Structure 1
Amino acid sequence: MTDRFTGKLLGVVEGCTNPESAEMLEDGETFVFGNCRLDVGFPWFRESQGLVYLEGEAFVTRARISRDGEVTVEERRLIDGLTTTLGCDVLRADIEAFPRGTAFIVADGKPIAHPDGSGPADARPHVLAFDPMSGEVRGRVPLWEGSRIARRFEALEMPNGLAIDADGNMYIADCPHTNPGVDPALPPPVSPAVYRIPAAALGPLVRDEPGAADEVTRVVMPGYVNGCAVSPLDGVCWGVSCSPVDPVGGGVYRLPMSAFRSGVQPPPVHRDLGELDGVCVTRRGTVVVTAPMKNEIHAFTADGGHFLVGGAGLPTRMPADINVVYPRHLDGEPALMVADIMVGTPPGDCTVSVLAVPGL
């Protein structure tokens, strides 16, 4: 029987639209997250059964949790007119291409409909780099057809997870659920995979320089992949599987550099959790994952404990990507940024919650 861990709900940002992922800046107070319009019921895609994003209806929000724990929205639409804003992270080091503190969010993944629901609309998947305070766009890492990464491997279809390690190396999880058939056992249009982009390659990729993708590597994930994260303990990437026909029934994977050199997925560390979405790792080595279809948050501690995480008043119904943060006022203890994506709800019906989880 799985034990339960009860966190303390610090605050909730209401009025969100299908937020996928939220991340905190180094000040321990400011955080950003993407909002995106997605829905089902489009006859041209999977006989009205597949999720589709609406073109130009996504945006980025900046919010803040004060030193006394009060959560407020500072800029509801810091950046507007985007599409498919999913995983996000913040750069913790100065690199050649971008200054420390630059925020990144994956955008423009397939499938996309025109705002009136007709479609499909064109997609140009990429990673958007921006100033999280002003909203100024600082560049785009192309992932679309014809990009340097596409020429080395293949174009990404639905970049979902995003993580950046302490040295600025970037990890992107591509979850290509864009096969038009309703049978989940049909092969994906491109390979589900986690891509590793060295920090030194980001500038050349943005500038579309020859050879920019030569050092990019990937791990192909047969059970699909959704979120990804980097452990603060050893810098190793983690990912989770999310297909209803996943052979391990929902796996949590540790992806060391040897996996990126071989391109082969290692066995799962944990399995049989259902379709998973988000993953993060605390400074104590606790691995936290979300199972949105079950409205569950699982925590696996370094000493072998397994907990279902909750909190009084936590409003999530379909928790998506999850990030661990360290708000200044918690004096080094962790909190979880819990985004509620809740498919099928009207705009403004979702939340982003800050849940303190001391000891994890």
Structure 2
Amino acid sequence: MCNLVDDFVQLHEISILHSWLGEEKENLMSDRFKGRLVGVVEGCTNPESAEMLDDGETFVFGNCRLGVGYPWFRDGQGLVYLEGEAFVTRARVTRDGRVTVEERRLIEGLTTTLGCDILRTDTEAFPSGTAFIVADGKPVARPDGSGPAEVQPHVLGFDPMTGEIRGRIPLWAGSAIGDRFEPLEMPNGLAIDAAGNFYVTDCPHTSPSTDPAAPPPVSPAVYRIPAAALGPLVREEPGAADQVTRVVMPGYVNGCAVSPIDNVCWAVSCSPLDPVGGGVYRLPMSAFESGVQPPPMWRDLGELDGVCVSRRGTVFATAPLKNEIHAFTADGEHGLITADGLPTRMPADLNVVYPSHLDGEPALMITDIMVGTPPGDCTVSVVAIPGL
């Protein structure tokens, strides 16, 4: 009965969307937006984000354990991460287009492994090619579920080939960023621009209240960390966060990305009470200078998770609860990305990558977080999207 009601509501929403789009109805499912499934990494556990190195073959992604039903958190209704159960995987797209796992557990013992990106320029603190992933956000349960556990949210830098830890950017209470603004609760999205500036989103979900309208424990926001601040932050020097800025996002914020065209940050909103019903935001430097969120570029897409931008200027955003991947082209078209055989059920973050075997054409790295499934039941898919 509930499934039938849910199906009816979803069909009704799609009907309204099609009426609103008018002539764009056919574009939503047009051939221009149909990709080709290159390959799938199976056996993943709630992967949130995957990113490719500049070799056009190697990519990394995080896996994390999610649980529900713990009476000490939101009367058993809230999702929590399990302490120490997260890990990082290294995989590869070969030059003949095969997708394989090279190291299932490259790094172990983390608690959350959400947004990830690759640094593509040398900085004082980290060399080019260092991989980064946001780690150890809240809320957290002990592995046996017996009660809440304490973690220290941070951005983890590591060698993507060996797993060697190269440093951490502290985001916890008592850190420079935590003292200047607020300690981050659940760092989620991560993006790094061409100059080595970092963007980190915080989607705080640790309020114990079951009321979705209850205020968050800290402000949902996108933080901009200049490249020059990385060394002082890692070394925990006084005043290390003086150059850090942020944009507060009233409708909460999930994923973020940087456009390869103009280095501008993009982000998406994700609350069921979001005043714009799911918005895609372009956040220029002026937004970080003022701290004020600009109006969305697109809205009313539902609760969103991931966002990314291709070299042609196509913006992609995922709506996981609808199993939708939206694409907005630079020439004004809007469509849904599809691909025969794509196993995704709840797409989370996604990144545009350029595998060597596609000769300069893009692909999407699509993670399937699929909340509520057992360990090893999720996937990371590589989908070729030529022309976008």
TM class by shorter-chain length? over 0.9
**1:338 aligns to 2:377 (yes or no):** no
Structure with greater helix share of residues? 2
In 2, the alpha carbon distance for the partners of 1:224 and 1:118 equals: 29
Give the Å deviation of 1:62. Answer: 0.1
Residue matched to 1:43: 71
Which of 299, 317, 321 pairs up with 1:289?
A: 317
Residue matched to 2:16: none
Residue matched to 2:28: 3
Give the Å deviation of 1:85. Answer: 0.5
1:93-150 deviation line (CA, Å, top 9, x unaligned):
0110000000000000000000001221002100000000000000000000000001
1:193-247 deviation line (CA, Å, top 9, x unaligned):
0000000101110000111100000000000000000000000000000000000
Residue matched to 2:18: none
In 2, the alpha carbon distance for the partners of 1:304 and 1:43 equals: 48
In 1, the alpha carbon distance for the partners of 2:231 and 2:370 equals: 35
In 1, the alpha carbon distance for the partners of 2:73 and 2:339 equals: 37
Residue matched to 1:351: 379
In 2, the alpha carbon distance for the partners of 1:310 and 1:182 equals: 35
In 2, the alpha carbon distance for the partners of 1:8 and 1:26 equals: 22
Aligned runs of 1:192-203 on 2, under 5 Å? 192-203=220-231
SS of alignment partner, residue 86 of structure 1? strand
In 1, the alpha carbon distance for the partners of 2:306 and 2:287 equals: 20
SS of alignment partner, residue 171 of structure 1? strand
Which of 88, 93, 96 pairs up with 1:68?
A: 96
1:290-329 deviation line (CA, Å, top 9, x unaligned):
0000000000001110010010000000000000000011
Aligned runs of 1:1-360 on 2, under 5 Å? 1=25, 2-4=27-29, 5-360=33-388
In 1, the alpha carbon distance for the partners of 2:351 and 2:357 equals: 17
Deviation larger for 3-12 or 27-36: 3-12
* TM-score, normalised by the number of residues in structure 2: 0.92
In 2, the alpha carbon distance for the partners of 1:151 and 1:72 equals: 43
SS of alignment partner, residue 92 of structure 2? strand
Question: What amino acid does structure 1 have at the position aligned with 2:271?
Answer: S
* TM-score, normalised by the number of residues in structure 1: 0.99
Give the Å deviation of 1:184. Answer: 1.1
Give the Å deviation of 1:260. Answer: 0.0
In 2, the alpha carbon distance for the partners of 1:297 and 1:50 equals: 26
In 2, the alpha carbon distance for the partners of 1:319 and 1:69 equals: 22
In 1, the alpha carbon distance for the partners of 2:303 and 2:385 equals: 23
Deviation larger for 178-187 or 8-17: 178-187
Give the Å deviation of 1:177. Answer: 1.4
In 1, the alpha carbon distance for the partners of 2:111 and 2:311 equals: 33
In 2, the alpha carbon distance for the partners of 1:170 and 1:222 equals: 21
In 1, the alpha carbon distance for the partners of 2:260 and 2:171 equals: 26
Q: How many residue pairs get matched?
A: 360
SS of alignment partner, residue 300 of structure 2? coil
1:22-41 deviation line (CA, Å, top 9, x unaligned):
00000000000000001221
In 2, the alpha carbon distance for the partners of 1:51 and 1:259 equals: 32
- What is the alpha-carbon root mean square deviation over aligned residues? 0.6
In 2, the alpha carbon distance for the partners of 1:27 and 1:7 equals: 22
In 2, the alpha carbon distance for the partners of 1:117 and 1:278 equals: 29
Identical aligned residues as a percent: 81
Question: What amino acid does structure 2 have at the position aligned with 1:337?
Answer: M
Structure 1 segments (4+ residues) deviating >3 Å: none
Unaligned runs of 5+ in 1: none
